[in-house]
Amino acid sequence: MGEDRDTHRLFDDWPEKYERWFTTSVGKLVRKYEGDLLAEFLQPKEGEEILDAGSGTGVFTLDILERGARVTGLDISLPMLKHSARKCRDYPLYPVAGDMIALPFKNNYFDKAISVTALEFIPDAGRAVQELFRVVKPGGIVVVATLNSLSPWAARRSQNAKQEHTIFESVVFRSPDDLRRIVPLSGVIKTAIHFLPDIDPARAEIIEQKGKAENLDTGAFVAGCWEKPRDVTR
């Protein structure tokens, strides 16, 4: 999921922690709203060949597989890949060890590509996104989601990382405008997770719906969706 050869070490001890977080009350809410936005953008269909770049433990990979698509899950961390392979063993998931800035696939191979919370660990985000577009067929969809620098979550994560030396010490938070600069094409960018980590779960839905209705750009999770131009063949 990153450019640095040692980046994978950040994630080798992370799979269980990452999965456990999504079982917490806030984690479940985050999982739902992020998953809803990704499904809106990607719209996976039966029989499609989809690349999940930086697939991690397969949290969102499983959603794609359950829609009937075939997924190639690429990650730089072998423990992450093994975890996702176990989780998705009943589905057509093809795990591949690799780096997002040099995808080991030919041009125009996939129907669609998605990358979720991997871009923040890649300093050269533009190169990684170019690779996603390269391997997608003309007219195909590319979805990229990352952690939003405009969100209060970003400040909290950065502060906690300095105190506890967590994985977020290496994160590059990016804003919706950063994504627009990285992908100079017409697309759609939205954010999700407008509530704070210590929210009362009973209030989270109200706050989330309000943020969505007002199209706020400060949600903790920012995602963009673009179509590869049909006159591009590589």
Rounded Cα distance, 15 and 18, in Å: 5
pLDDT of 171 reads: 84
Which of 13, 15, 28, 14 shows the shortest CA–CA distance to 85? 15
pLDDT of 150 reads: 96
Inter-residue contact 52 to 60 (CB < 8 Å): yes
Inter-residue contact 48 to 64 (CB < 8 Å): no
pLDDT of 2 reads: 42
What pTM did the predictor assign? 0.90
pLDDT < 70 stretches in the chain: 1-15, 161-168, 232-234
Rounded Cα distance, 90 and 210, in Å: 38
Rounded Cα distance, 11 and 97, in Å: 13
Inter-residue contact 223 to 190 (CB < 8 Å): yes
For 129-139, how does the pLDDT look when each residue is reduced to its tens digit (9 = 90+)? Answer: 999 999 999 99
The domains of the chain, with CATH numbers, are 7-227 (3.40.50.150)
Rounded Cα distance, 34 and 194, in Å: 11
Rounded Cα distance, 5 and 22, in Å: 28
pLDDT of 11 reads: 58
